[in-house]
Structure 1
Amino acid sequence: MAQISFEKLGQDGKARTGVIHTTRGDIRTPAFMPVGTAATVKAMMPESVAATGADILLGNTYHLMLRPTAERIARLGGLHKFMNWDKPILTDSGGFQVMSLADLRKLTERGVTFKSHIDGSKHEITPERSMEIQALLGSDIVMCFDECPALPADRDRIATSMELSMRWAKRSKEAFGDRPGHALFGIQQGGLEQDLRGQSAEALREIGFDGYAVGGLAVGEGQEAMFGCLDYAPDQLPEDKPRYLMGVGKPDDIVGAVKRGIDMMDCVLPSRSGRTGQVFTRAGVLNIKNARHADDPRPLDENCACPACTKYSRAYLHHVFRSQEMISGMLLTWHNLRYFQDIMDGMRQAIAAGTFAAWEQDFHAGRAQGDIEPL
């Protein structure tokens, strides 16, 4: 069984397109990974997620270890079988969720102890335990255990945190061991400090990973600061491995990240927005709960091939949202996920053709024009 490998197929400026080959199928890059927090992409059937064009899903180590537990999932045949998804799965390490969700957490050199946000029970995640949980889940791409400080934070705090994450990265690699067919990604930290990001990248290169993530962004610093960091951070990571920007993002964040050399992203935005009536289209964002849609027989986006657009009117989608019918979240999530995958597909084709700059211009112009005029 071969290790996971990355094949670069084209480059236009810093934007790259390629394929990550895994034992469960190929991941076309740039890739957007829908988030299946609790072993499901909310409001979606797994086959529907695949139909939107997704090659890989993300699962959350923190949520799954608390409920139903990694041990139970392993007994039931692993995460792929458990959630009926036969393509690749990437699991995060649990570090970010511990930071953002857990109560009363305590950080030491060994790891993090915390109280569950579900029932208050006490738990510990160390680099070793994170690797064990992710092995029990059976994910194809495993993330190192790291600490992610919220921004803004002072330089000393960011430096201390980055250095701890690098020591944990080394322990993660040792604990991961030799697992043919599974990959381990290191996570670059260092906030918005170019030299600290450089030190982090150097430490990760020395340890050696199958892929590299840019961590610690999309945590409150704003798009301008994030792009400023992405102007150099991906360049500090190995050229021949996939680069993953964690937790991003909005459509224009995604395009800006790919332009700067990022290959993989994930975000809850398309599914979370779908459940709250926020719809992403080629002409910008619309809110289905607005009264202007109540009598509108037109589709959300006439250029979209998803079921919400090809089979239902804005009037219907407005009605089921206002009536709090389950089909509302299902259809709007399907549409949003399809729109995000269409962006990725458009970028892959444009990079391969060497027309990325023109594609990007059209993308921004389309979104700037705003929604169609009301009837």
Structure 2
Amino acid sequence: MNVAMNHADQPQDSQAFINLSDVCKSYDGRDYVVYDLNLTINKGEFVSLLGPSGSGKTTTLMMLAGFETPSQGEIRMGGKRLDDLPPYNRDIGMVFQNYALFPHMTIAENVGFALSVRKVGREQIKTRVKQALDMVELSHVANRRPSQLSGGQQQRVALARALVFEPSLVLMDEPLGALDKRLREQMQYEIMRLHRELGLTTVYVTHDQSEALTMSDRVAVFFDGRIQQIAPAHELYESPHNAFVANFVGENNGLDGRITEIDHATATLTLSNGTKIRGGVSQNLRQDTPGMLFLRPEQVRIADGDLNLGNRVQGLVEDIVYCGDHHRVHLRLGESDRLLCKLPNSREHCLPIAGSTVNVTWRIDDCKVLSPLLASHQSTSSPC
């Protein structure tokens, strides 16, 4: 098997390798499960499609694979239209959650199946199957049946089968969903290793945010049939575009209020109890409209003395939860607002007492004022 250059060493092509343009998918002509989708993926890139069930991520993957046909728009790979090509002519490897191995075949026969249907010679199949099984460190089980392997081993076989014919694109549909936590972490490492070593172009569907953030060059967050934001993991976590992304990716203190002032760099959010908080300006903000504060719990500090990092509020300590490396401090602000603070489990951080009133503080540039999520576009009487 030919080994491509490492992804980190690859030049960035000016033209995207995968291009989905104005893609829509409807099963009844009225309700769209994917709406007005535009997505580009570079060669050698690892892109995860992340979102809750029904958000459109798996349908997008199935359209790339050829198992679903777009209602509108076009899909290109390497500049060539894929829309009218059947799955077996798309040069795409696929890894499913349920492994989809043939139980009556040996492991070697399972891995070599994609080559046999492509009329590759017997000796070449034997050589390439061994190379593929060596890649996933399973050549010693070549003569066993799938039922004789563990779940993690079966998924590695499925990965070898997807890679054995050296596809231009690899698609993975929640491939680790059936594995326990330890095996999931091991397989994440295996997939990342093969991606780097082979220079694979990979599209990976998951609803597990930590999995997407750990593995991906970029993550596309889906909701309501649309991509809400696509960005590298650190940008998604630190600079979400809207309330959905902020709440779906990682933990977030989503304090609701009204936007009462906006300048070029900051916005002021007034909470229900009259408390005013300043944060960075995000997209589509308008004064005198509802807004939400985006603030990660690890950015909140219990204020010692007169410490004020820019925002300072008073809260009642409702609960303190021990979580090993940190404590979760649950605070109530006024009658209805809640704030979560994560304090590292160290001697440098003194824990407050449950039932006490404390001051908490955080930096203005550690939080943002966001607009609520835009209205749904799932149902429409007009085409995309």
The normalised TM-score by structure 2 is 0.37
Q: Which has the higher helix share?
A: 1
Q: Which has the higher strand share?
A: 2
